[in-house]
Amino acid sequence: MVVKEPEARLAYEEVLARVGVPYHTAQDFREVLRMTINGAYNGLLVDILTLIRSSKEEKTIAYDCINFYPTLRVKWDARQRSISCSPQGHSFPTDAEGALACFIESRCRPFSARPLRRFNRKDTYLNLLLSASPQAWGVKTFTVNVSQGGAFVHTAESLPKGSRVWLSVPDMPGDEPVPATVCWSIEWGGCRTIPGVGVMFDALSERQGAWITRTIAG
């Protein structure tokens, strides 16, 4: 669960205690990133105001997590002393406790607990050409962050999850573009953060892998 305001956190904790589910709490998405890299989780409960008030960097982390884990967005109304949940479909109860219980049983329990990723990412800006095939002409763009396993690449193009792309980095050794798979995306205009796609490298040569490691190390 990620929530910054103490009053909202206490309200959510009361409901979770009644539902009877173990959880960890983070105050911001940087803490979420550390937790999900070092630990395995089944789902994510996100306070909407915490998400809205996050920095651009945190929003990138947030959507990385939201696109990976089953996620329920919740909001604490201090005036009405009530919790509301984002729509989850007609089968979900309208009351907060019922919606949380249904979310945990139908979305979180079937999702085996797992860490977010094997490698920690670092903000690194690399010029590259992004293309839909090895032979296609690439679109000029850049990375926002990079790890040994993948990258977040800026693009306004709509690339569905699971689609394959090729990355040509002029500074990287080797003539062959790097094949990668789109794991998640942030659509242009969808939120106030950098649009783009999170990709996982499908194959790196030994030289390319060593070069990325050196680049991340600075």
pLDDT of residue 117: 67
pLDDT of residue 104: 93
pLDDT averaged over every residue in the chain = 87
User: Could you read off the pLDDT of 160-205 as tens digits, one per residue?
Assistant: 888 999 999 988 877 689 999 998 788 887 666 788 888 989 888 8
Q: Residue 71: in which H helix or E strand, if any? A: strand 71-77
Label the pairing between strands 178-186 and 139-146: unpaired
Q: Is the pLDDT of residue 217 over 60?
A: yes
Report the amino acid identity of residue 217. A
pLDDT of residue 92: 65
Residue 161 CB neighbour total at 10 angstroms: 12
- In the numeric block, the tokens 């630990």 are attached to 39
Question: With contact defined as beta carbons under 8 Å apart, do 84 and 42 qualify?
Answer: no
- CA atoms within 13 A of residue 2's CA, in its CB half-sphere: 30
Residue 119 CB neighbour total at 10 angstroms: 15
Sign of CA pseudo-dihedral 13, 14, 15, 19: positive
Q: What are the structural domains, with CATH classification, of the chain?
A: 6-108 (no CATH), 122-217 (2.40.10.220)
Say how far residue 180 (Cα) sits from the centre of its chain. Answer: 17
Q: Is the pLDDT of residue 71 over 90?
A: yes
Distances (CA, A) of 125 to 26, 96, 142, 215: 28, 42, 6, 10
Q: Is the pLDDT of residue 121 over 80?
A: no
